[in-house]
Structure 1
Amino acid sequence: MKYLAIFLLIFASFQNHAVVKRHDVDPDLYKVNSIPQFYVDMPFQGGSVLIDKHWLLAPAHVIYTFMYDYQDKPIMVHGVENQIAQIIIHPDYKKVEGDWSEGDPAPLMEQLNNAKDIALIRLSKPVTHIQPIAIYEGNEELGMEITGFGRGAIGTGITGEEHDSEGPSLTTYAWYQVTKFFSDWAFTQDDYQMHVYNNVITEAKAHWLRFTFEQGADALPLEGTIGSGDSGGAAIIYQGSTPVLVGLAAWREIEGDLESYTLGKYGSTAVLTRVSYYQDWINKHINKLN
């Protein structure tokens, strides 16, 4: 179960889901009342981002190919039905192997760190009712203040994330095994409360961005971090009033024994897929198929 938690994709009960927040700030201040146009819920768990009228961008690990054939399946894009025409997973992405319920996390961290965790989702119909988000094209993310979005586990920096808030229940997944025979729709997190958080990029190396969940005087007013179920949530900056995509929620670093470690506490480090690193790969596919 801890293995799934690393990917921010874990089975649990339905709750009021969101990011992990400061303990000393009103949690209602983190609530998002108007979902960003660029945010698209993926089948089952996690999110993606509209980066082109035909394309979504997501971490590769939110693509559940082991249980779902995405080809020609419906997907809702900000209130309008579309279809998935194609999934393109980065050729250097490798799924984590092994049982990571206990023991030393170092080998797991190495596998996660080496993976190129990104995928493109091509839509069958152009999205014309909303605008895609621009991608940051530079390499100066270090020190940037980001705004992140998610529908994942709740909690505070003192408690860490609450284990009963980490995602859909086993009952929900079991019910899908029934409904899949007469419906192409898979459940999503679209009825979960979305929340926002802020943080500052403390490391920008190769294909990852990292930030630390600070507290007290070192924390931003809406300081927060990603929780289980937040995978694919956009991390953006603003250029003037225009949002620009810099990262996608991916995974979190673990120190100490896997079985006893609590995710989401103050001082913990979260990791984002660094979108600028993949600019050439993204453009190659978009330009070719557009």
Structure 2
Amino acid sequence: MSSLHFAALLLLAFAPAASAIVIRDDVPEGRYRVAPEEFPALADLPHEGHGVLIARQWVVTVAHAVQGTAVNEICLAGRARAVAEVILHPAYRRPDKSLESGDAAPLIAALAASDDIALIRLAEPVEDVKPVALFRGNGEEGRLARLFGAGASGDGRRGQDMQSPHRTVLRRAYNRITQAQGRWLTYRFDSGSTALPLEGMLGNGDSGGPVLIRQGGSWKLAGLASWKLAQGELADFRPGLYGQVSYQVRLSHYAAWIAEVMAARDR
């Protein structure tokens, strides 16, 4: 496995890549599949990864999915949409390649300290898809979260299928936010009696995928898939196993930055 591919596993196993929902091993896979029309605001980035339409001309995603890559168009509701500009958060830092082997702790510290968020300004406003509103406030912890992704898949007993392509069919799963602090929201992939009926976690190819929380009668965008926690030797890490903790960019933390960037470009 190349060092670049391994880094991708970490940045939503860890981060540059990120799986079309890793599911329970005791629930039929078909129960997780949904039609694209269930979440039309989901954007597909070139090759792999996602973003979400949050305004007529704006998509939010994770920085690691677009940094160093030409993003000339994205796909939204089955149509190609030209991209005018990609804006990375000024405090985003891609982890150094020297951290991609050995003990996981230095890499995890680098991921946790970075602002993994970016905005994509489209060349033309989107008229045929309704944007998703951002979750407001600080009440994410303990809330039910709905996840969407079309990356690789697998199940919690065996982990992610390492041969699975990073762009597959759209799946939906649920989890529960265990922590909301600073830059990050977290949830844990539970099994058995502690798991939700459609428990799951985002995986490789799902970077930038949405984490939605119900507020005021509708699902609001609270987070974006970013990376998974690893401990010990990185070479032994297998994404998607039960018990793993997933980290999502916490959009309430970045609401002011998002509003500032959009207002400056929309004048």
Same fold per TM (> 0.5)? yes
Q: Does 1:89 align with 2:83?
A: no
Are the counterparts in 1 of residues 103 and 233 from structure 2 also a CA contact under 8 Å? yes
Counterpart for residue 29 of structure 1 = 31
Contact 1:153-1:165 within 8 A present in 2 as well: yes
Range that drifts further, 29-38 or 263-272: 29-38
Counterpart secondary structure, 1:288: helix
Amino acid at match of 2:181: K
Cα-to-partner distance string for 1:38-97 (whole Å, 9 max, x where unaligned): 1000112100000000100000001042x42x3xx2333213332111111000000110
Give distance in 2, aligned partners of 1:284 and 1:128: 23
Secondary structure in structure 1 of the residue aligned to 2:235: coil
The corresponding residue for 2:123 is: 124
Deviation at 1:116, TM superposition (A): 0.2
2: CA distance, partners of 1:255 / 1:218: 23
How far, CA to CA, are the matches of 1:99 and 1:196 in structure 2? Answer: 35
Flag structure 1 segments of 5+ consecutive residues without an equivalent: 12-16, 168-188
Q: Which runs of 5+ in 2 are unaligned?
A: none
Distance 1:80 1:45 in 2: 16
Counterpart code for 1:37: P
Secondary structure at 1:108's aligned position in 2?
Answer: helix
Q: Over the residues paired in the alignment, what is the CA RMSD in angstroms?
A: 1.7
Q: Is 2:233 the partner of 1:285?
A: no
Query: Which of 54, 58, 72 does residue 57 from structure 2 map onto?
Result: 54
Residue from 4, 7, 10 that aligns with 1:3: 7
Classify 1:3/1:99 alpha carbon distance in 2 versus 1 (closer, same or farther; 3 Å).
farther
Alignment of 1:269-284 (within 5 A): 269-284=245-260
The corresponding residue for 1:183 is none
- Asked if the contact 1:74–1:83 (Cα under 8 Å) also holds between the matched residues in 2, the reply is yes
Change (3 A) 1:288 1:200: same
Structure 2 CA distance for partners of 1:274 and 1:41, relative to 1, 3 Å: same
Matches within 5 A, 1:25-174: 25-35=27-37, 36-65=39-68, 67-68=69-70, 70=71, 73-167=72-166
Helix, strand or coil at the partner of 1:61: helix
Give the distance between the partners of 1:218 and 1:247, measured in 2 at CA.
23
Task: Name the SS for the 1:259 alignment partner.
Answer: helix
> Percent identity at matched positions?
35
- Give distance in 2, aligned partners of 1:270 and 1:32: 22
Work out which of the residue numbers 18, 21, 45 in structure 2 matches 1:19. Answer: 21
CA distance 1:204–1:10, change in 2 (3 Å):
closer
> Conserved in 1, the CA contact under 8 Å of 2:20 and 2:151?
yes
- Once the two structures are TM-superposed, the CA of residue 155 in structure 1 deviates from its matched residue by 1.1
Please state whether the residue corresponding to 1:32 is helix, strand or coil: coil
Q: Structure 2 length as normaliser, TM-score?
A: 0.92
Secondary structure, in 3 states, of the residue corresponding to 1:4?
helix
Instruction: Please identify runs of 4+ aligned residues in structure 1 that moved more than 6 A.
Output: none
Deviation at 1:236, TM superposition (A): 0.5
Larger Rg: 1
Out of 236, 240, 255, which is 2:212 matched to? 236
Q: 2:199 corresponds to which residue? A: 223
AA in 2 matched with 1:146 = A
CA contact (8 A) 1:160 1:264 kept: yes
- Partner residue, 2:190: 214
Partners of 1:203 and 1:166 in 2: CA distance: 30
* Corresponding residue of 1:253: 229
Conserved? CA contact 2:16–2:65, under 8 Å: no
Counterpart-to-counterpart distance in 1, 2:165 and 2:244: 18
Amino acid aligned to 2:49:
G
